Amino acid sequence: MSLIDFQHLHQQIKNKLFEISYKIDCFNQSGDTDISRYAETYFKGIFNIVYKKDNWNFSKSQKINQDTYDLFDEKNKICIQITSNKRQSKKDKTIQQFENKHYQNGFNTLIILFTTQSKPKKNKNPINFDYQDFNIIEFCGLIEDKCEQTELLKIRDILLNNNELPRNRNKTAKKSQNKKVSQREFLRRKKIEKELIKELLIEDFWDKIDREELAKLPIHKFKDSRFILRSISDESYPNVDENSKWSRTFMYDFYEKGILIWLDAVSGTEALVNENMEWYILEYGEKNKEFEKGFQRVKIRILGELPFKNIVYWEDGDAYYNDYHLFCKYDGIDETPFDKIVYRFENTLGYFWRELDIDKRIK
């Protein structure tokens, strides 16, 4: 790559980041703050490329509008907050919350990315942990300093292959449900449903498994609940990179339109719920936190509704994984194959039947 081409590559990245910064600011001023949350997808991929040589690997926070961080690296104990709020009070509050909640639990580094052209002033008071912050211009400089041609090309592809900022696709998914379904498509879905029920479930499971056990853990009705969920457009399998759209996960149960996928089967999740059924998920490092007044701790299960309409093909294992493979269209909410994410909580008898109201989730 010539010097001119290299300079042009830097310019492409800057132009797109400045465009994102401008769009976030415009949407926020118009009252649409969701755009900031979905822009985190861009920055997660970029941060993982920028700090790959440092062996940093960031995941997104499960709690929406997390006050202290949006991305975190549990292994290296690093939190990143991405915000368009450039007020000094926002910075001071984030630093204080990190010190109170996460520094005490082993995290030692906080980074704040202000998606604006300016940022708050330097802190007058000493900070007890590693701290860095960047405005969008400084972030472009960080990319130039730490990335070589290969990394720059990857960042350019992340930015230019998505012409618009990610949007919340819940509305899109709901609209698609109202479209008329052709007879051919209806029969295709019924065929997939019939094949999967016959292939995946234990024959006559009602006679072989205790009814109470099935009520508490419907996952036991499957011959093997673990499977590979794959996008029909994914080309990375069996390798994994920041753009991979396949995962190894668990089936939970069938529902009227498809299969429930148990998204937190391995890790388990807890939430705090108050008497008005307002709730929020406990993050890593908050497991031992004191209850807020009026709240109680409950176990929850996070389930993705995978409709038959999004399942294109299935097969029983391959040379890499002996699990079932479901090949799906990833055109549901937030570029997933799911029509909906539901949160069921445990009652006093140990059943997970009731759903938490997503509109009462505390942000």
Token digits for 53?
Answer: 């040589």
Distance of CA 234 to the CA centre of its chain: 17
Given this model, what pLDDT does residue 166 score?
43
Of 49-58, 63-72, 101-110, 342-351, the range with the lowest mean pLDDT is 63-72
pLDDT for res 58? 92
CB within 8 A of 249, min separation 6: which ones? 226, 227, 229, 261, 262, 263, 265
- More reliable by pLDDT, 95 or 40: 95
Gap between the Cα atoms of 348 and 281, Å rounded: 19
From first CA to last CA, the distance across the chain in angstroms is 46
**Is the pLDDT reported for residue 362 higher than 60?**
yes
Structure tokens at 267: 């890790």
Q: Which pLDDT score is estimated for 125?
A: 79
∠ CA 361-355-226, rounded to 5°: 105
What is the reported pLDDT for 167? 42
Task: Tell if the pTM clears 0.85, that is, is over it.
Answer: no
pLDDT band for 309, please (50, 70, 90 cuts): very high
User: Which residues in the chain belong to E strands, given as ranges?
Assistant: 59-60, 71-73, 78-83, 109-114, 130-134, 226-231, 246-255, 258-262, 269-274, 279-281, 295-307, 311-316, 324-328, 340-345, 354-355
Place of tokens 């998606």: 115
**Which range is least confidently modeled, 2-6, 62-66, 278-282, 337-341?**
62-66
Q: Mean of the per-residue pLDDT values for the chain?
A: 86
The two structure tokens encoding residue 130: 């590693």
pLDDT band at 349 (very low <50, low <70, confident <90, very high): confident
